[in-house]
Structure 1
């Protein structure tokens, strides 16, 4: 069995977290194939939204994974999550599911509270994540209020500096929210740290995305329930 993990940007922490989670829920003999194109996120950041060329390159990576024998695809970047949504028809046609890393996290946030804090280092990630939260809330027939926390200057910091900056921004929204959601998978290593600091539910996408990927493989009959 082979799963494809599609990145538009990588950090050592994100790769390590994903690898660990995947190994914890997948059979020992599963092949994990990583596909990366950092130019996609760079271009999205430059324009402030997903334009046609980076969307096309992302879809090309999905199709490359399909042609190389992937049984399922995990889309890691939330900034381009709506491209994964747009690709669902072809995923159904090929029988190779394309799973968004963040959708089940967003559903869990809606389950946990009506006031949801959304933390991100990039505006281009913040808006698509908020759109996903609003969509799943509508599907769940719930009303939610979203509180932004754009972690200014957080992109590219080392782990310790980033934890301190996350602590500062999480503290600013803590009293306004029931649950804190991390919009980027690269933030996952801060999840327990922020939870312990503020004693509030904190959700990051890595563990939810990996379990959604496993569920997709179960649905295909490739893994037991």
Structure 2
């Protein structure tokens, strides 16, 4: 079994978390074909939204995964999740499901409460994740209130400094929400710390993405449920 993972930006923590969760769901023998193109996220940040060229480069990476024989591919960047949505018909046609890392996380957030906090270090991730939460709420026939929390000046910080910055930002919304969503997979190592400190569920995407990847492979018939 071979699965693809497409990154537009990575941290050691993100790669470690994604690989661990995939192997937890699919076993240690799974072959992981990883690709990354940091220029995609850089271009999206500069423009403030996903423009033509970075979208095309992302789609090319999906097609690379298909050419390499991947049974399914995980899109690991929430900033460009809507690009993954745009090629789902093609993905179904060629038999390679494209799974968004954040979709089931956002669905579970809606299940857990009607007041959802969304934390991100980039506006270009914050807005698409809020859009996904709203879409999941619509699909669940619920109305949610979203509290946006942009964690500014967090890039380049070490883990301890990043936790402190996340904690200070989370404090501004924690008392007003039922659940907090971490919009970027690279934030996942902070989830338990924040949940324990503020007493609310804090959801991170790598585990949800890996579980959704497994569900796609079960549906495809590659593995048994």
TM beyond 0.5? yes
Residues 1:97 and 2:85 aligned together = no
- 1:110-162, CA deviations, whole angstroms, 9 ceiling, x for partnerless residues? 00000000000000000000001101100110000000100011123211100
Residue 206 (structure 2) aligns with: 206
Structure 1 counterpart SS, 2:173 = helix
Query: In terms of mean alpha carbon deviation, does 21-30 or 99-108 score higher?
Result: 21-30
Query: Which structure 2 residues correspond to residues 1-225 of structure 1 after superposition, within 5 A?
Result: 1-225=1-225
Work out whether residues 122 and 155 of structure 1, in 8 Å CA contact, stay in contact via their aligned partners in 2: no
Give the C-alpha shift of residue 27 in structure 1: 2.7
Alignment TM-score, normalising by the size of structure 2: 0.99
Stretches of 4+ aligned residues off by more than 3 angstroms: none
Structure 2 counterpart SS, 1:116 = strand
Alignment size in residue pairs: 225
- 1:66-118, CA deviations, whole angstroms, 9 ceiling, x for partnerless residues? 00100000000000000001011111111100000000000000000000000
Distance 1:45 1:137 in 2: 27
* Structure 1 residues without counterparts, runs of 5 or longer: none
Give the C-alpha shift of residue 211 in structure 1: 0.2
Distance 2:209 2:18 in 1: 9
* Structure 2 residues without counterparts, runs of 5 or longer: none
Distance 1:150 1:28 in 2: 36
Distance 1:224 1:132 in 2: 29
Work out whether residues 79 and 124 of structure 1, in 8 Å CA contact, stay in contact via their aligned partners in 2: yes
Give the C-alpha shift of residue 35 in structure 1: 0.6
